[in-house]
Amino acid sequence: MNLSFTNRLCETMIQKTKGIIWTLICVALWALIPVVSKTGQSSLDNHQFLFYSSLISGVTLFTISCVRGKLSLFIRLNLKQLLSYFVLGLLGTYIYYLFLYFGYAEGNGIDVLVIQYTWPLFIVILSIIFLGEQVHLQQFISIICGFAGMLIVLTKGNFSDLSTLSDPVMLLVALGAISFALFSVLSKKVTGDPMVITTIYFFAATIASFISMFIFSNFSLPGTQEFLPIAVNGILVNGLSYVFWIFALRSTSASFLAPFIYLTPIISMIYLVLFFSEPFGLASAIGLILVLVGGLVNTVGLRKYHRSSPKEDPVP
């Protein structure tokens, strides 16, 4: 029996190690969003950049799905499913990225990064509103830390001057974060193959950005220096990274892996400072710390809740 227990323990450790490795690969790719956003929009605007990136992401994921024998799952989708996936795609892969890319093109990258990672905070708030979830102490602390961090970044620590709260760039990034949070909350009720669903999400963003490109911008081909960041964003950052994330989730639980995700904004911040000489002031540092602490506190609280709940569903 001791040998059996030891074997199970070793297998668990191996699976967790695999999950951590896959997650760290995802983190390294997701941290590139500010880099590809800035370098990929030298002559393109956010509508154009989003169109090309989403198209490549959708094609990449569709190809992987077909190789893995999932083509029949696309064919069997009914109109109601397609419509619900399309609407969710508008929230999570169109509005979110449209405003996020705009923020990195027009605003201070580190400030945009802090506002971007307030979406876990808004998930807590929207889950209370739409799902009727109870507020635990960890969630309350998370909300306070998140809003405090956001307020410090927007005001640059000068609370006597609240005019900076009306910065249109940051307001749009915040709206994008709220959109992604709403997408995350509503996705809890979605069933189906995750690869197929995500493929449709990015095709929804492709269609929506194609339309908005002609309404608010115009059709323009990427410049030679933009091909690489568009390809990296479409194939790796928003394409293969999702496949790697599925591999991670199949190795161990999402609650165990969640804290590692908060390495993403830290690595992104390092990229912004090293490659783009982004100013990193005290207000940005404190704001980022508070937002990350808020997210981690909430994550720890959720892990405790799931460990004590017999109704927790196993991660596929």
Are the CB atoms for 70 and 196 separated by under 8 Å?
A: yes
Three-state SS for 157? Answer: coil
Q: Report the alpha-carbon distance of residue 278 to residue 110 in Å, rounded.
A: 7
The one-character DSSP state at 166 is G
pLDDT value of position 4: 67
In the chain, the number of structural domains is: 1
Q: For residue 278, report the phi and psi dihedrals to the nearest 5 degrees.
A: -65, 135
Cα 108 to chain centroid, rounded: 19
Are the CB atoms for 96 and 179 separated by under 8 Å?
A: yes
Tokens of 122: 């808004």
Domain extent, residue 192, equals 32-308
pLDDT value of position 305: 44
Residue that is written with structure tokens 């323990």 in the block = 9
- For residue 118, is it within any domain? yes
- For residue 16, is it within any domain? no
The one-character DSSP state at 193 is -
Q: What is the pLDDT along the chain (316 residues), one digit of tens a residue?
A: 465 656 676 777 777 788 888 888 988 999 999 999 999 998 999 999 999 999 999 999 999 999 999 999 999 999 999 999 999 999 999 999 999 999 999 988 888 888 888 887 888 788 878 777 776 777 777 778 777 887 787 777 666 665 556 678 889 999 999 999 898 888 877 888 888 999 999 999 999 999 999 999 999 889 888 999 999 999 999 888 888 887 887 777 666 777 778 788 888 888 988 888 887 778 778 888 888 887 777 666 555 544 443 333 333 3
- For residue 6, is it within any domain? no
Contact residues for 111 (Cβ-Cβ < 8 A; gap 6+): 153, 154, 170, 284, 287
- For residue 20, is it within any domain? no
What is the amino acid identity at position 239? Answer: G
- For residue 12, is it within any domain? no
Residues 127, 174, 196: CA angle, nearest 5 degrees:
60
pLDDT value of position 159: 62
pLDDT value of position 163: 59
- For residue 284, is it within any domain? yes
pLDDT value of position 89: 93
pLDDT value of position 162: 58
Cα 178 to chain centroid, rounded: 12
The string of DSSP letters for 50-98 reads HHHHHHHHHHHHHHHHHHTT-HHHHHT--HHHHHHHHHHHIIIIIIHHH
The string of DSSP letters for 102-164 reads HHHHHS-HHHHHHHHTTHHHHHHHHHHHHS-PPPPHHHHHHHHHHHHHHHHHHHTT-TT-GGG
Q: Report the alpha-carbon distance of residue 30 to residue 27 in Å, rounded.
A: 5
pLDDT value of position 301: 57
- For residue 24, is it within any domain? no
- For residue 184, is it within any domain? yes
The one-character DSSP state at 44 is S
Closest CA to 34 of 152, 116, 156, 153: 116
Q: Report the alpha-carbon distance of residue 188 to residue 194 in Å, rounded.
A: 12
Q: Report the alpha-carbon distance of residue 211 to residue 204 in Å, rounded.
A: 11
What is the amino acid identity at position 43? Answer: S
pTM metric for this prediction = 0.85
